[in-house]
Amino acid sequence: MAPIARVHAPIGQRALYITTLAVPLTGWTVHAVSLHRKLAAARKDPLTGLLGRDGYTAKARQNLARYGDSVLVVLVDLDHFKQINDGPGGHAAGDRVLAATATRLTAWAGSRGAVGRLGGDEFAVAVRIRPARRELRLAQLAQLLAQPVEVEDGVLVDVAASVGAASPDVLGTTDLSVLQRAADAAMYAGKHTGRAVLADRSHAVVPSINGRRAGRPGTHTLGRAA
């Protein structure tokens, strides 16, 4: 109340009182903005419980900054997912497959891995894996994702996934967008083969639109609009 009671104080004093009041308000504003950003980054996908795109991106970049060349960036795309959605089990079966895929990716990546659902049936992982173990771990992931999923009352649905991966030491960069673009190209190089493909430098220069492989469904329209 003191600053209000002394409104007739000299200009210099009044300015000091106003500044004294403004500093805490500015601090709270900065805190509120920071908290909002953290909450947005931590927002989970309601169906799978995985990080959304923003949350995944933030954590993946943290892993790259911390572990550098030991990080493996992986993109996963479910094969023939539309057929599952259009099948007898409908979208409920598709939801179970997405949830099961999320559980498998989380188990494979471990607690320190960044695992996110980018949208639809596409997932991403950024996890620390030593170079000597990459091929083995990727083969294990491909095998894990190919296991049938129980959708209801013991009914099993066959699933398959395409897997592409990229690493900083091979591509010479820790830029997440470059790594994901290369992983995306590698994933499509091995589409429907049942094996994971580790990107080399050639995958990093595949023509892209908005950071995705040119020709991928939806990229043409997005690129033209941009």
Instruction: Provide the residue type at 189 as one letter.
Output: A
Cβ partners under 8 Å of residue 182, min gap 6:
164, 166, 171, 199, 203, 204, 206
Of 222, 142, 113, 124, the C-alpha closest to 182 is: 124
Take residue 170 and report the two structure tokens written for it.
């091979």
Residue 208 · residue 214 · CB < 8 Å: yes
Task: Enter the tokens of residue 164.
Answer: 């592409």
**Contact indicator for 134, 148 with CB cutoff of 8 Å:** no
Neighbours of 144 (CB within 10 A): 14
Three-class secondary structure of residue 143 per DSSP = helix
Per-residue tens of pLDDT for the chain, all 226 residues: 444 444 454 556 665 555 555 555 555 555 555 555 555 545 799 999 999 999 999 999 999 999 999 999 999 999 988 888 888 778 888 999 999 999 999 999 999 999 999 999 999 999 999 999 999 999 999 999 999 999 887 889 999 999 999 999 999 999 999 999 999 999 998 888 889 999 998 888 876 554 555 555 433 333 332 2
Q: Which residue has the tokens 């591509």?
A: 171
